Chain A
Amino acid sequence: MHEAPVINLGGFHLDLSVLIMLVVTCAIVFVVAKLATRKLSVENPGKLQNFMEWAVEFVRNMISSTMDWKKGKPFLSLAMTMIMFIFVANMLGLPLGIVTEYHDAEKAKIFGQEITTVTSVLKEQHEEHPGEEAHAEVAWWKSPTADLSVTMGLALLVFVLSHGLGLFKNTKSYLKHYVQPYPFFLPINIIEQLSKLLTHGVRLFANIFAGEVLIGTIMTLAKASIFGAIFSIPLLMVWDGFSIFVGAIQSFVFVILMMVYIGQSIESHDEEHEH
């Protein structure tokens, strides 16, 4: 089990791996988007521009499938940002991992700051198995979406956005749907909304995290012996392929759920009954 490199900055627990990976993800997404839109042309689009336009059309179809396109148009940019960010984030953990090992709590430092997770793990192991050498591994390179607190952040953003829009732009029918079909359904409806938030974040995290855990396990097998290394190559190929698939699907699922939640909040239910 890999630890996260967390340092304590005056009470603020900064997870360096998450910070690094978020910066890397954002940089890749921005560079790709910027390259694709560098030489914009109406009549003669380049390959990258074509690809980007295909992606925009794809996201646009996702939005129109969940809500009225007139209402959904402002979210196109956000949905594009989200799907690119999550897709790139999901992919980042696949090709490589950077792991450092620590045995001594005194050496577990970066920029002169103590890596608190490592020291606490080492201390725990010392207490459990006194006399044995303690051992902790820190993952520096991983998918940022393999961190629950990051995916919950994204889910929280969607939660706040959808409910805020519902509350301010569509107040009457938004509030009404909490007491439907009967007023005593209110607690159930509230739980439903909260469970949406939870599942939205956890689904993405669990899928990506599970993929990375299995990759880590296969790597352990590869390190074990020469036969393990040979055997691990096809295994890793298969699992990497599957992880790419899962990563793509999860980014799609996350964004389409985002649009569904926003759509549910801003679409008035009176209209729905008429349809």
Chain B
Amino acid sequence: MNFVWENTVIALIAIGILYFLLNKYAFGPLFSVMEKRRELVQQQLSEAAQTREQAAAYVEEQKSALQEARKEAYEIIEQSKQTSSKQATHLLQQAKDEATRMKDEAVRDIQSEKNKAVEQLRSEVGAVSVKIASKLIEKEVGEEKVQGELVDQYLKEVGGRS
């Protein structure tokens, strides 16, 4: 095996030409495509991350909205409960008042009717007894003064009994 320096020169020229050609026609475009793919993947990854973030934010927003709605609904229920109970109390009170008033009125009516009846009775009984008495006493008592005293005494006795 001889060392032929000419071969070295030829080999260097060959590899130089090959390097130049590959670099220009094959690897240059290939590397740029690979770089482009890397960028694409990077971009898609960042986009995905962004979308995920957005989704998370949206979910959070929805959650808070839901919470708010729930709170609001609770408040409404609470309020209506309060209103209804207040109204019920009010109605009850009104009814009670009405009942009391009607009862009082009735009692008053009864009282006044009774008084009226008593008065009427008293006057009627007076008149009747006077008539009876006058008929009875016409013969016995002549003097008008004695007559009146007797009637009054009699009436008092009757009124006290009644």
Binding site for B on A (CB under 8 A): 4, 6, 12-15, 18-19, 22-23, 25-26, 29-30, 33-34, 36-37, 40-43, 45, 49, 52-53, 56, 76-78, 80-82, 84-85, 117, 144, 147-150, 152-154, 156-157, 209
Question: Known: A40-B30, A157-B15. Is A152-B22 also a contact (CB below 8 A)?
Answer: no
Mask for B11-33, Cβ within 8 A of A = 1, else 0?
11011011101110111111101
Bound Cα distance A189, B17 (Å):
33
Q: Is the CB of B26 within 8 A of A37?
A: yes
* Least Cβ–Cβ distance between A77 and chain B, in angstroms: 5
Q: Cβ of A42 and Cβ of B11 under 8 Å apart?
A: no
Contact B15 A30 (CB under 8 A): no
Determine whether B9 belongs to the interface, using a CB cutoff of 8 Å to chain A: yes
Q: How far is the CB of A144 from chain B (nearest CB, A)?
A: 7
Q: Please tell me if B4 contacts chain A, counting CB pairs below 8 Å.
A: yes
Q: Which positions in B face A, CB cutoff 8 Å?
A: 1-12, 14-15, 17-19, 21-23, 25-31, 33-34, 36-37, 40
Q: How far is the CB of A99 from chain B (nearest CB, A)?
A: 16
Known: A30-B18, A37-B25. 15 other contacts (CB 8 A): A4-B4, A15-B6, A15-B10, A19-B10, A23-B14, A33-B25, A37-B26, A37-B29, A77-B22, A81-B18, A81-B23, A85-B15, A150-B7, A150-B10, A150-B11
In the complex, 13 of the A-B residue pairs with CB atoms within 8 angstroms, ordered by the A residue number, are A14-B6, A18-B4, A19-B10, A30-B18, A33-B27, A45-B33, A53-B34, A77-B28, A84-B22, A149-B7, A150-B7, A156-B8, A157-B12
Residue of B whose beta carbon sits closest to that of A201: B8
Q: What chain A residues lie within 8 Å of B12 (beta carbons)?
A: 153, 156-157
Bound CA–CA A82/B30 (angstroms): 17
Closest to A149 in B: B7
The answer on a CB contact under 8 Å between B1 and A26 is no
Q: How far is the CB of A28 from chain B (nearest CB, A)?
A: 10
- CA gap between A77 and B24 in the complex, in Å: 10
B37 touches A42 (CB 8 A): yes
Closest to B34 in A: A53
Contact of A153 among B9, B23, B26 (CB under 8 A): B9
Contacts of A37 in B (CB 8 A): 25-27, 29-30
Contacts of B26 in A (CB 8 A): 30, 33-34, 36-37
The residues of A that contact B11 with a CB separation of less than 8 Å are 18, 22, 144, 149-150, 153-154
Q: Which of A12, A33, A153 has the most CB of B within 10 A?
A: A153
* CB closest residue in chain A, given B3: A149
Cβ B30 vs Cβ A29 within 8 A: no
CA distance A29 to B6 in the complex (A): 23
